[in-house]
A and B are shown apart, each in its own frame.
Chain A
Amino acid sequence: MLSKRIIPCLDVKNGRVVKGTNFISLRDAGDPVECAKAYNEAGADELVFLDISATVEGRGTVVDMVKRVAEQVFIPFTVGGGIRSVEDIREILNAGADKISLNSAAVKDPELVRRASEKFGSQCVVVAIDVRERTGGKIRIASTDASFSGIDETASEEDNSKFPSGYEVVVAGGTKPTGLDAVEWARKVEALGAGEILLTSLDRDGTKSGFDNVITRAIADAVSIPVIASGGAGKLEDFYDGIVDGGADAVLAASLFHFGEIQIPELKAYLSGRGIPVRTMSSTLSLWQSLKKDPQGLVPAIVVEDSTKDVLMLAYMDYEALEKTLETKLMHYHSRSRNELWKKGETSGHFQHVKKVMLDCDRDTLLFYCDQDGAACHTGNHTCFYTEVTVPEEKK
């Protein structure tokens, strides 16, 4: 069954990951590639990078970041922020992003959505829609004071019938109303060729009071493309509600994941427990993913005799060898000379029965406690380490 996606969002400024509350107060928190790898290992289903660089130089770092991420992380990722033209899109996609997201550029020039989807396919065009609820004919507006988000008494008394959904599309971090109804705009971008909608409630963003499931549901029901809910998640239930009440196909959060307040595996276990389909991976694959491999893509395995604690041998494993070893409880290796899977004992009968497996602190070596049939070494010696090396005496 198609799973619901969990998507961490990384705000990037001048090539570094930062995160602001309500897009305003920022805190430096690291290298985009390292963050992306960590999220991938934690089980993130997709990533969104939002470039908030204000300068041309800052923007220039995005393409390089996209290239570096694409070389190391093999889950889909979207890049948004400051994308204005088909040329910008081409550059980001060629660098290795799977999707781009358009926000204010789409409001300014809706035909850009059409041009982008015709040129590169709908599957890579995400339209980000930021919304605010209209209250009594007026719109709540953002303030430069991050803690304050109030109603603009000076806003024009526009007829609420202009906003049948009760929500207005806003741009520039919520500081500029657009006069567009949220649901109508969502329908329009779908018709123009958008492949997905990333919906952010700016009333909720940073508040940790839950997604705005009213507008999420209204848009999810109005369009037939996937909707990603964003803005407001603060606890595990919020994600469940966003999916069930809001009808979201995917849920996105930033600082909550970034500062580890909610861990992705914890969230997935929670959702799964409540009957939401989420992507999981076999424990062997998760283990393999988390291991540091050598340049040949292998991991060294040290074998110790369980009864005597004698060190018997060292050999190398690829994924197949590890999988077979854990599955059969018999040691398998990758033979570097023959470049093939090697089941220890297959010809000699000297099988190694796995009793316990330990992981090195740097996750770059595996230690297997085994019962050894016969000799471990092909020379007939009990252990491969039977040759003592002379250690020179210390000169005084």
Chain B
Amino acid sequence: MIAIIDYGMGNLGSVQKALAFLGYESDITNDPSRVMAADGVILPGVGAIGAAMEALNGKGLDKVVHEYIDTGRPFLGICLGMQMLFDTSEESFGGEPVQGLSVLPGKVVRFPADMGLKVPQIGWNDLSSRNEILPQGEYVYFVHSYYCVPEREEDIAATTTYGREYCCSVKRDNVFACQFHPEKSGEVGLRILDRWARQTRKDG
């Protein structure tokens, strides 16, 4: 069973539907015991990181995420769920920079305003993969205005280019995260999700 963490924001249904299409059962939940009992956990999210962190912390789910990751079982952060793993985001919330979960060292910054880029980046961009986790050169679907800058180069699993080359996926031990939406990236995305979710099958 895969737990999709529900902190009251974002469309969690598409992640669940993609998993169901691939034959994986999942549970949209904010119950800490269900998260801790899961074979895999997904932290999804769209919207503003400040409100998302507040919602997560308010439900005590920040501690649950840390505790779950400490078990060594597979963890996947998607979009905002990737950004939340870092130390801070320059996306302001009540005038203050937002404190993230600090699962990975690094920060979250906004696409520069002076490059003539349309922000948010909306659409399909291609992956420059640094290992075998993500398919080289395939296109995946992005919707975001901020991106992650990991402190450790070795945490970067893939980059893409929008105005500049930036990190769009990280992998560190059991923690995997992507800025793009695998659940909306067609066949490529389904294969990425399947590959991750396969680890949650106890017999496999």
Residues of A within 8 A of B (CB): 1-5, 40, 45, 70-72, 74-76, 93-94, 96, 98, 121-124, 195-196, 224-226, 249-250, 279-282, 285-286, 288-289, 296-297, 319-320, 339-340
A224 lies within 8 A of B118 (CB): yes
B37-59 to A contact mask, C-beta < 8 Å, 1/0 = 00000000011100000000000
Q: A319 contacts which chain B residues (CB < 8 A)?
A: 191, 194
Nearest CB in chain B: distance from A249 CB, A? 7
Known: A74-B183, A93-B11. A280 touches B123 (CB 8 A): no
Name the prevailing secondary structure of the A interface residues. Answer: loop
A3 lies within 8 A of B125 (CB): yes
A-B pairs, top 5 by smallest CB distance, nearest first, are A289-B187, A279-B139, A339-B204, A279-B124, A121-B47
Q: B185 contacts which chain A residues (CB < 8 A)?
A: 74-75
Residues of B within 8 A of A (CB): 11, 13-14, 17-18, 20-23, 46-48, 118-126, 135, 137-139, 141-143, 161-162, 183-191, 194-195, 201, 203-204
Identify 14 new A-B residue pairs, CB closer than 8 A, beyond the known A71-B20, A75-B185, A75-B186.
A3-B124, A74-B14, A74-B18, A98-B14, A196-B122, A224-B119, A226-B118, A249-B122, A250-B123, A280-B139, A281-B187, A282-B138, A285-B191, A320-B195
Q: B194 contacts which chain A residues (CB < 8 A)?
A: 319
Q: A121 contacts which chain B residues (CB < 8 A)?
A: 46-48
B184 lies within 8 A of A75 (CB): yes
B203 lies within 8 A of A70 (CB): no
| Complex alpha-carbon distance, A209 and B47, angstroms | 39
Q: B188 contacts which chain A residues (CB < 8 A)?
A: 281, 285
* Total cross-chain contacts (CB, 8 A): 111
| Complex alpha-carbon distance, A7 and B18, angstroms | 21
Known: A2-B125, A249-B123. A72 touches B186 (CB 8 A): no
Known: A70-B14, A123-B143. A3 touches B123 (CB 8 A): yes
Residue of B nearest to A295 (CB): B23
Q: A281 contacts which chain B residues (CB < 8 A)?
A: 138-139, 186-188
| Complex alpha-carbon distance, A2 and B203, angstroms | 39
Q: Which among A1, A70, A196, A279 is the interface contact of B13 at CB below 8 angstroms?
A: A70
| Complex alpha-carbon distance, A196 and B185, angstroms | 19
| Complex alpha-carbon distance, A5 and B189, angstroms | 17
B118 lies within 8 A of A285 (CB): no
